[in-house]
């Protein structure tokens, strides 16, 4: 399978680049800039993309690459910092912008040379999204200027003979008009990609690899009932059938009635399904814990201990399988990458796991790719389209300490919110929505009496890939109805707020 390597220099949109490449039916992987060149060569990519980054290429200690990467003969596209890195390494000069007019941030009218392969077939003028304070004072020998703006004459550069391209803007973000076409041009016109990345092919390849790896061994799958673990269950069932046991751990932090719904849904499947009631042990472990990362690590560790116990009951289980997906891995940090939050099934795992190996068949897939794979496997649409629900459950939607009382309060409030969204048909317009029980208490008045109760936050977002998201514009009348019902029907809440923050700078979940 042909692949593109994305070399990560720490920019905020780096994972979005990967999404855009895969949308063009080309497989890619994100690798830290510290990855040795010999390892990159071994992956035999058809092209390389340098990402953006927050630093300046000319400063000591800034992220760099092995200079031999430029003699390898593989096409390279540099984005923002990546563009400046190309210029800096190949004889150009990058300096701080001399005045404010040379610094560019946000939407910028840009003019393109459509004779350049990167911009062929595009309009000669369009909007791009800029985010740079440095300036290419001198372009490397052999490079042509292929795009400009009113503030910057060298918005894009190209050495088409060697297949090197650099853009100061971010083609991967929606704000850049025709940005996906620029990426597609790099993939197909420069790298000569065939476009062989499809979920149908991935399904067949994944099944064959799972059969080879597992052989006659037994597998225990950590099944939450969410999209990721459900698709993993279907994939493993297709690969090894009765060798698979699915364990659903009801940790007491599920949504209202969710444990029963999961059990009912999988009762129809021809697989070994085990439900474990573990509410008391999880709540005991979490008692008095306020810090989000500790919550995630405690939950991740306790999940493993439960799975180990269940494996002993099944007997001779070799593999633990999880529905880990690519955003989980990325946000949990790898190498020099920042830890956004440790996902319970990645950064939250304990040091010792009593299984021969952990299998993660979805580890390199984004959420929308997982949904596509589910459809390829014949899963029903209601399961494939289900909203994400985090493995730690309500533990990361209860800010501060966790108690059964708080979990029950949040369960009821969240149910009302989801019920009203569905009845209004608004659920079809939202990719994820939920309630968060904050740790803030405020004074209120109910029935002519003073109250001092919790503030509940409502959160709803729209997104295509869950790597970026925008807050949803829910009609005020509907929010008013939700607020009135929750305050009147759920004891312990006297104030409702609505989160209007996008990702970034926020994440979708609060913790």
What is the pLDDT confidence band of residue 351, given thresholds at 50, 70 and 90?
low
Which range among 84-98, 152-166, 344-358, 447-461 shows the weakest confidence by mean pLDDT?
Answer: 344-358
Catalytic residue, candidates 24, 80, 116, 246: 80
Crossing angle between the packed helical segments 404-423 and 476-489, to the nearest 10 degrees = 140
Catalytic residue, candidates 24, 88, 104, 170: 170
What pLDDT does 328 receive? 76
What pLDDT does 339 receive? 47
pTM over 0.75: no
What pLDDT does 448 receive? 74
pLDDT tens sequence across 285-328: 999 999 999 999 999 899 989 988 988 898 888 999 999 888 77
Provide mean pLDDT across the span 9-15. 82
**What is the 8-class DSSP label of residue 469?**
B
Q: How many CB atoms lie within 10 A of CB 511?
A: 18
d(Cα 499, Cα 395) in Å, to the nearest integer?
Answer: 19
pLDDT at 99 over 60: no
Is 133:92 a contact under the CB 8 Å cutoff?
no
Q: What is the 3-state secondary structure (H, E, C) of 369-418?
A: HHHHHHHHCCCCHHHHCCCCCCCCHHHHCECCCCCHHHHHHHHHHHHHHH
pLDDT at 101 over 80: no
What is the pLDDT confidence band of residue 114, given thresholds at 50, 70 and 90?
very high
What is the pLDDT confidence band of residue 20, given thresholds at 50, 70 and 90?
very high
In the chain, the percentage of residues whose pLDDT exceeds 70 is 92
Would you call 111 a catalytic residue per the annotation? no
User: Which token pair is 148?
Assistant: 């400009």
Q: Please list, in sequence order, all residues whose beta carbon lies within 8 angstroms of the beta carbon of residue 505, skipping any fewer than 6 positions away.
A: none
Paired sense of beta strands 470-471 and 449-462, if any: antiparallel
- Sheet order of strands, 272-277 included: 272-277, 244-250, 218-222, 317-321, 357-359
User: Is the CATH number 3.40.50.880 carried by domain 3-190?
Assistant: yes
pLDDT tens sequence across 222-276: 888 788 999 999 999 999 999 999 999 999 999 999 888 888 877 777 789 999 9
Looking at the chain, the domain(s) classified CATH 3.30.300.10 span 397-498
Q: How many CB atoms lie within 10 A of CB 55?
A: 15
Most confident of 23-32, 263-272, 319-328, 342-351: 23-32
Is 156:114 a contact under the CB 8 Å cutoff?
no
Would you call 170 a catalytic residue per the annotation? yes
Looking at the chain, the domain(s) classified CATH 3.40.50.880 span 3-190
pLDDT at 336 over 70: no
Is 360:322 a contact under the CB 8 Å cutoff?
yes
d(Cα 381, Cα 385) in Å, to the nearest integer?
Answer: 6
pLDDT tens sequence across 171-228: 998 889 999 999 999 999 999 999 989 899 899 989 999 999 999 999 999 888 788 9
Provide mean pLDDT across the span 139-148. 94
pLDDT tens sequence across 420-437: 999 999 998 999 999 999
What pLDDT does 132 receive? 56
Q: Please list, in sequence order, all residues whose beta carbon lies within 8 angstroms of the beta carbon of residue 377, skipping any fewer than 6 positions away.
A: 203, 231, 234, 235, 238
Q: Please list, in sequence order, all residues whose beta carbon lies within 8 angstroms of the beta carbon of residue 60, skipping any fewer than 6 positions away.
A: none
Paired sense of beta strands 272-277 and 317-321, if any: unpaired
pLDDT at 14 over 90: no
Query: What CATH class has 397-498?
Result: alpha beta
What pLDDT does 388 receive? 79
Provide mean pLDDT across the span 42-53. 96
d(Cα 120, Cα 43) in Å, to the nearest integer?
Answer: 29
Which range among 17-31, 211-225, 334-348, 497-511 shows the weakest confidence by mean pLDDT?
Answer: 334-348
pLDDT at 355 over 90: no
Mean pLDDT (the chain, rounded): 89
CATH of 199-384, one of 3.40.50.150, 3.40.50.620, 3.30.420.40, 3.30.70.1560: 3.40.50.620
What pLDDT does 389 receive? 84
495-508 CB burial, b ≥16 within 10 A, e <16? bbeebeeebeeeeb
* C-alpha neighbours within 13 Å on the C-beta side of residue 466: 21
Catalytic residue, candidates 104, 172, 369, 420: 172
Looking at the chain, the domain(s) classified CATH 3.40.50.620 span 199-384
Most confident of 329-338, 413-422, 442-451: 413-422
Q: What is the 3-state secondary structure (H, E, C) of 153-164?
A: CCCEEEECCCCE
Is the Cα dihedral 386, 392, 394, 396 positive or negative?
negative
Provide mean pLDDT across the span 470-476. 96
- Report, in angstroms and rounded to the nearest whole number, the Rg of the chain calculated over CA atoms: 25
Paired sense of beta strands 76-79 and 164-167, if any: parallel
Would you call 80 a catalytic residue per the annotation? yes
277 versus 329: which is more confidently predicted? 277
């Amino acid at each position: 399978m042909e692949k593109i390597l994305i070399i990560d220099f720490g920019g905020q949109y780096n994972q979005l680049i990967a999404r855009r490449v895969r949308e063009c039916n080309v497989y890619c992987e994100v690798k830290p800039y510290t990855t040795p060149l010999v390892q990159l060569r071994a992956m035999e990519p058809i092209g390389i993309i340098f990402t953006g980054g927050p630093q300046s290429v000319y400063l000591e200690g800034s992220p760099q690459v092995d200079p031999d990467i430029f003699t390898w003969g593989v096409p390279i596209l540099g984005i923002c910092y990546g563009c400046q890195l190309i210029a800096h390494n190949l004889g150009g000069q990058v300096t701080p912008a001399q005045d404010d007019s040379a610094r560019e941030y946000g939407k910028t009218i840009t003019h393109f040379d459509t004779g350049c392969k990167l911009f062929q077939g595009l309009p000669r003028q369009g909007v791009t999204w800029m985010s740079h304070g440095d300036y290419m004072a001198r372009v490397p020998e052999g490079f042509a200027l292929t795009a400009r703006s009113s503030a910057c004459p060298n918005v894009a550069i190209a050495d088409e003979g060697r297949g090197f391209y650099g853009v100061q803007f971010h083609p991967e973000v929606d704000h850049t008009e025709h940005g996906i076409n620029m990426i597609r041009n790099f993939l197909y016109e420069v790298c000569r990609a065939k476009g062989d990345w499809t979920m149908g092919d991935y399904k067949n390849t994944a099944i064959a690899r799972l059969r080879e790896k597992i052989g006659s061994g037994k597998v225990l799958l950590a099944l939450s009932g969410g999209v990721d673990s459900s698709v993993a269950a279907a994939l493993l069932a297709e690969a090894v059938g009765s060798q698979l046991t699915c364990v659903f751990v009801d940790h007491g932090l599920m949504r209202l009635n969710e444990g029963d719904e999961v059990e009912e849904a999988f009762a129809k499947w021809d697989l070994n399904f085990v439900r474990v009631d573990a509410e008391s042990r999880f709540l005991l472990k979490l008692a008095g814990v306020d810090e989000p990362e500790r919550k995630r690590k405690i939950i991740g560790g306790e999940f493993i201990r439960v799975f180990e116990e269940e494996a002993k009951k099944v007997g001779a289980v070799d593999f633990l399988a999880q529905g880990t997906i690519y955003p989980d891995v990325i946000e949990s940090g790898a190498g020099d990458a920042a830890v956004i939050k440790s996902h319970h099934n990645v950064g939250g795992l304990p040091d010792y796991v009593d299984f021969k190996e952990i299998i993660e068949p979805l580890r390199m897939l984004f959420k929308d790719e997982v949904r596509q794979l589910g459809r390829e496997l014949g899963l029903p649409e209601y399961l494939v389209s289900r909203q994400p629900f985090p493995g730690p459950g309500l533990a990361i939607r209860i800010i501060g300490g966790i108690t059964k009382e708080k979990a029950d309060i949040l369960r009821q409030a969240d149910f009302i919110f989801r019920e009203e969204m569905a009845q209004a048909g608004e659920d079809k317009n939202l990719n994820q929505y939920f309630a968060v029980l904050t740790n803030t208490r405020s004074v209120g008045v109910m029935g002519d009496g003073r109250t001092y109760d919790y503030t509940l936050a409502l959160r709803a977002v729209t997104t295509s890939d869950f790597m970026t998201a925008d807050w949803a514009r829910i009609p005020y009348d509907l929010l008013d109805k939700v607020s009135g019902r929750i305050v009147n029907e759920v004891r312990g809440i006297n104030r409702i707020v609505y989160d209007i923050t996008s990702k970034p700078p926020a994440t979708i979940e609060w913790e």
